[in-house]
Structure 1
Amino acid sequence: MWSNAASCPARTAPTASIRLELLAGVTGMSQRSELARELTRALIRCHSVTPQDGGALAVLEEQLKPAGFAIYRLRFSEPGAPDVDNLYARIGNGAPYLVFAGHTDVVPPGDTAAWRFDPFSAEIAEGEVWGRGAVDMKGAVAAFTAAALDYVATHQPLKGSIGLLITGDEEGPSVNGTVKLLQWAAKQGEHFDHCLVGEPTNVEALGDTIKIGRRGSLTGTLVVHGTQGHVAYPQRADNPIPHLLRLLTALIAPPLDDGSAEFDPSHLEILTVDVGNPATNVIPATARARFNIRFNDLWTPQTLSAEIDRRAAAVAGGARYELSFDPCNALAFVTARDHFTDLAVEAIAAHSGRIAHFSTSGGTSDARFIRNYCPVIEFGLVGATMHKIDERVPLADIDTLADIYSEILERYFDQAPV
């Protein structure tokens, strides 16, 4: 535990001083690792809780611009959602174009007194760097930035193009971040051939998992209307709660499906059941529930909502109810396996010693937007401590991840046509 008054380190403003001048000359593994480590720490020190940038994008710009990357800082707005700062960087003019994508925003640290160190101090202890965003996903952003800088410094002229798509809205509503950054890039005539997102995909050890797809996410609301009355005279009332329970049971069973070739079975989880009745002698007038369905590629939001409607109607009886669904921007998708997925597996094995397996599990990510523009895979750090108190990442994993990204760059452009 740390104390603000006694031992909280001073907030360190990120500066250009961490740039390794040796990248302008001969570089190697140790320099790339050093840059990845220092960039990770500089990014963690930025208070970039969604939707705040906290200086994180400036840290990246200070490294990328002197290396020749064209930098675009873009703020997007929309009524009802916070403004968000984003960064797009590109170097090179031709194809193939490999773009790395990620986010510098983080979830709130929670109870800061419960942390071993100040969550924005980026302390190093026991071979790990500690802080909010270390795993999700400032460590990966730092690693692919260091890999890209290293590659650019040692491969001139470039055989293609390298880019970065960085948002500050992934942990938030995802309205003014990647989705609009992609729309902006398309209007500029930008075309991506492949994308790698640095989300924390690994389960037990670095190198065990590549995400090649994501499940969809659909959220719904069920409201049942009854008739309020005295509990001693139930015949004069209509309790909505039994109706709600019957309807919810029908939504859960039987299972929605048995899974598909690439996905586990879809599942519905009840999130809340609310009546708002403080009295012990009153039958309530209304009961409501919220639920979320993580669905596979057997469904679309339209077919899934129709199935939920059908299930509710089949058991409704005389219940008066309303069933509605939130707008859905998270569809299930799978990236086809090709030379890019193969070379990623080979690069990961070369530096981790593990053969990564393909997965579509977990929550949503910004890959759901990118897949509309180019094939996309996800590979980052081990997600064991993401969003938790004392989030942290081994320094050795940052080193290895930077090496893997560097190997992917080497193989990607080596295989490109002359």
Structure 2
Amino acid sequence: MQKIIQLAQKLINIPSLSPNDAGCQKLIIKKLKKLKFNIELMPFKNTTNLWASRGTGTTLTFAGHTDIVPPGNIDDWTFPPFEGTINNNVLYGRGATDMKGSLAAMIIAAESFITQHPNHQGKLSFLITSDEEGEAIYGTKKIIETLINRHEKIDYCLLGEPSSCNQLGDTIKNGRRGSLTAKITIHGIQGHVAYPNLAKNPIHIAITQGLNTLINTIWDHGNNIFPATTMQISSIRSGIHSNIIPSQIDIECNFRFNNISTPHKIQDKVNNIMKKHNLTYNINWYLMATPYFSHPGKLMHATIKSIEHFQKIKPKLDTSGGTSDGRFIKKIGAEIIELGTINQTMHKINECVNTIDLKTLSKIYKNIIERVLLS
């Protein structure tokens, strides 16, 4: 099981800032070739993609990404972000939990399974991209489009995103909410701060009227599949000088929405709020992701049983959190489960993962393969 840690360290050593794979997939391909996987590179624009498979029949796919977010101020890290330092059974580095650790666990799980079952039934495959943390335009989306056009199928997909919250395996995901961004400009009249009667301050208007209503609006109450839709203001910009009342205020907010509040419904509500307060405004909308939900099936049953076997806990099913590439994979008709490491340090300074968790995760992954392909 030391192989998992060594592979995770090698991947962490590579500063694969999205969408630059920087050689991570070459390491992975080298491992998969030894296991007699058929390797297909699917580069699109500046994105490196990999589709690897072996066997025929019912298909179980491991999906993940090699790209990472920037480390931030390196001086703030206790251990350098690209050295893969281990301290007290904890592996530190950018991508340790999101998601190079999971990738290593997947690959070693496949290696162990194939060594034990060299003539296994079914098809085992890997779908890996370097464009998940960025725009996600030329990554998994393009791979799935290619597979659909070739009439290939994925029956089951294990996505290695860091799903666990406090204990490995305590949470798995079978869906995600969508993401909708609004860039709102509220217009006023520019003037001298000493003569407010001759101007119209868009900041005052926005805060006391439009924004206050937006913040306090209940978009929906959620349902038995998804939590409620939420709205968060992420940016407010205005002003060019301390003694000038600005002519406009620019506000950026993001909606994480379920299958109750569609983008169209959200847009209508926001427009009605602006009109109710007689604001002069314009909005640009950006649909970043639509919600997806995967109905429970054989893969979910196998995942729950495997977690119960190794962790002695029953995982919670969850659809909250950020978006994932599951939204693209769902289009090929696969049952999807997201299962990975503890997510508490992802994208943070001192991102890390417990090495014992990585070894256990690999055992869980292997057990899931056996339950899905051999039963």
Task: Verify: 1:402 aligned to 2:335, yes or no.
Answer: no
Task: Verify: 1:195 aligned to 2:126, yes or no.
Answer: no
Instruction: Answer whether contact 1:250 1:312 (CA < 8 A) is retained.
Output: no
Shift of 1:112: 1.3
Give the Cα separation in 1 of the matches to 2:133 and 2:240.
33
Instruction: Answer whether contact 1:135 1:385 (CA < 8 A) is retained.
Output: yes
Give the Cα separation in 2 of the matches to 1:111 and 1:275.
27
Partner of 2:44, secondary structure, is strand
Shift of 1:252: 2.3
Superposed CA offset, 1:74-103 (max 9, x none): 2212xxxxx111111111122x10001001
Give the Cα separation in 1 of the matches to 2:302 and 2:147.
26
Instruction: Answer whether contact 2:219 2:261 (CA < 8 A) is retained.
Output: no
Give the Cα separation in 2 of the matches to 1:180 and 1:49.
20
Task: Verify: 1:110 aligned to 2:110, yes or no.
Answer: no
Aligned to 1:383: 343
Shift of 1:153: 2.1
Superposed CA offset, 1:186-220 (max 9, x none): 22332100111000000001010001111111100
Superposed CA offset, 1:269-289 (max 9, x none): 111121133232x22111121
Aligned to 2:297: 338
Amino acid at match of 1:170: E
Give the Cα separation in 2 of the matches to 1:231 and 1:111.
38
Give the Cα separation in 2 of the matches to 1:414 and 1:54.
36
Q: What count of residue pairs does the alignment treat as equivalent?
A: 373
Aligned to 1:67: 35
Superposed CA offset, 1:325-357 (max 9, x none): 11x141122211122211110011111111101
Amino acid at match of 2:7: L
Shift of 1:295: 1.2
Aligned to 1:357: 316
Aligned to 2:172: 210
Amino acid at match of 1:62: K
Give the Cα separation in 1 of the matches to 2:229 and 2:25.
37
Identify the match of residue 23 of structure 2 among 32, 55, 76.
55
Aligned to 1:220: 182
Shift of 1:259: 1.7
Shift of 1:371: 1.4
Which has the higher Rg, Structure 1 or Structure 2? Answer: 1
Partner of 1:186, secondary structure, is helix
Instruction: Answer whether contact 1:147 1:403 (CA < 8 A) is retained.
Output: yes
Shift of 1:157: 2.1
Instruction: Answer whether contact 1:222 1:290 (CA < 8 A) is retained.
Output: yes
**Matches for 1:251-266 after TM superposition, within 5 Å:** 251-266=214-229
Cα 1:397–1:238 shift into 2, 3 Å: same
**Matches for 1:3-402 after TM superposition, within 5 Å:** 33-77=1-45, 83-94=46-57, 96-245=58-207, 246-280=209-243, 282-315=244-277, 317=278, 319-326=279-286, 328-373=287-332, 374-402=334-362
Give the Cα separation in 1 of the matches to 2:293 and 2:19.
29
Amino acid at match of 2:11: L
Scaled by the length of structure 1, the TM-score of the pair is 0.86
Give the Cα separation in 1 of the matches to 2:250 and 2:81.
38
Give the Cα separation in 1 of the matches to 2:355 and 2:74.
23
Superposed CA offset, 1:225-269 (max 9, x none): 222122333332222223322112222223111221122221111
Shift of 1:224: 1.4
**How large is the RMSD of aligned CA atoms in angstroms?**
1.4
Partner of 2:42, secondary structure, is strand
Shift of 1:365: 1.0
Cα 1:240–1:191 shift into 2, 3 Å: same
Shift of 1:134: 0.8
The farther-off stretch of 141-150 and 184-193 is 184-193
Where do 5+ consecutive residues of structure 1 fail to align?
1-32, 78-82
Give the Cα separation in 2 of the matches to 1:355 and 1:214.
20
Give the Cα separation in 1 of the matches to 2:125 and 2:225.
29
Shift of 1:414: 2.5
Shift of 1:45: 1.1
Amino acid at match of 1:120: F
Post-superposition, which runs of at least 4 consecutive aligned residues in structure 1 deviate over 3 A?
A: none
Overall identity of the aligned pairs, in %: 37
